Amino acid sequence: MVRVAILGATGYSAKEAIRLLLAHPHAQITALTTRQDDLPHLGDVHPSLRGRLDLRLENLNAAQLAERADCAFCCLPHAASAEVIKEILPLGMRAVDLSADYRLNDPAVYKKWYDHDHPDAARMAKTVYGLPELYRERIPKSQLVANPGCYPTSTILPLAPLLKAGLISPDGIIVDSKSGVSGAGRTPKLNFHYPEANESFSAYGVGTHRHMPEIDQVLSDFGGKTTEVIFTPHLVPMDRGILTTTYSTPTKPVDAATILAELRKFYANEPFVRVVDGLPTTKDVTNTNYCDLTARVVRGRVVTISVIDNLIKGAAGAAVQNFNLMYGFEETTAL
């Protein structure tokens, strides 16, 4: 049995991680942390989990965490997560980091996009990017895995195989993503307030969203050629889910059947990627760890459409998937 601590247990991703791990036959949640002054019971923070786990959220230092847990699911904000991780790893703990702290390899790029120096810069380039469909062989021996962002997951999964196969050009890729409000986290903000977000549809972070360098880095690494996308996220008035549409230029004349065949070949043995003929919707994957995706060719451009649940495949579900690989459990356990 692997003892698990959930760091930053008040948020939406933490709630989903707890819910999934409670059904995991090889995991035992032994600690929940908060940076708040009060130490509430889990059932008061997440009422849907009342009666399922009798633990309070606590302020625990690194030594206390290492004594009580073998692995940490870090659901803390960026910078705060790295501050904790750099202390618990030398004590023998393993970690799946759901923040953005270890997704980027270059400290200078991190500083440009996050406006501060990285607290644990030396570890950045050594950390495995936890997208099993691309980097599965690197995950099992890792002490620390960087869980991918939700938007990058929905973007990388349809594009990476096509770049790897040389079917699309790495230049001029446009990514258009729409996310439910839970993607912004649980901390109240004016533009996510119900009267502001309901019955409205808005773009944000145009050219400045922090997931853009993450997408560029992974596609460049996996595809073998420098790739820079134009990424535009949108806020949709629904609780959860992401739908991402990408537009790219084929390297030679191609039809949709060829693109779909390549995607099906690449994901033939992947338990959580489903290549579908029809147009997928966010409801098709709600509360699951699946990514459903498809492709079309429209006026000489390759168009892909993918959907995920931003809190599961885009966060907690992917973290459990990585946890399973790290400890040698069946990858689909609890998912």
Q: For 291-310, write each residue's pLDDT tens digit.
A: 999 999 999 999 999 999 99
User: Which pTM does this prediction carry?
Assistant: 0.96
Q: Give the relative orientation of helices 317-327 and 12-21 as an angle to the nearest 10 degrees.
A: 50
Q: Where in the chain do CATH 3.40.50.720 domains reside? A: 2-126
- Mean pLDDT calculated for residue range 258-277: 98
Cα torsion 169, 211, 316, 186 to 10°: value is -150
Q: Which helix (H) or strand (E) holds 210?
A: none
Fold held by 2-126: Rossmann fold (3.40.50)
Q: What is the mean pLDDT of residues 98-125?
A: 95
**In the predicted structure, residue 282 carries a pLDDT above the cut 80:** yes
Q: What is the pLDDT of residues 157-176, one digit of tens each?
A: 999 999 999 999 999 999 99
Query: 250, 273, 277: which is closest to 335 by C-alpha?
Result: 273
Checking if the pLDDT of 194 tops 80, the result is no
Q: In the chain, which residues fall in CATH 3.30.360.10?
A: 150-310
193 has a pLDDT exceeding 90: no
Instruction: Tell me: pLDDT of 184 over 80.
Output: no
pLDDT at 190: 65
Q: What are the residues facing 297 on neighbouring strands? A: 302
Query: In the annotation, is 291 catalytic?
Result: no
Give per-residue pLDDT as tens, 53-93. 999 999 999 999 999 999 999 999 988 999 999 999 999 99
Query: How does 42-72 read in b/e, with b if 16+ C-beta sit within 10 Å?
Result: bbebbeebeeebebbbbebebeebbeebbbb
Q: What's the confidence (pLDDT) of residue 182?
A: 83
pLDDT tops 90 at residue 189: no
pLDDT of 35 reads 84
Cα distance between residue 272 and residue 321, in whole Å: 10
pLDDT of 183 strictly over 90: no
User: Is the pLDDT score of 18 beyond 70?
Assistant: yes
Q: Which of 71, 74, 75, 150 is catalytic?
A: 150
Question: Between 22 and 196, whose confidence is greater?
Answer: 22
pLDDT > 90? residue 178:
yes
Q: What are phi and psi of 112, to 5 degrees?
A: -60, -40
Q: Which CATH topology does 150-310 take?
A: Dihydrodipicolinate Reductase; domain 2 (3.30.360)
- At 236-245, the pLDDT tens digits run 999 999 999 9
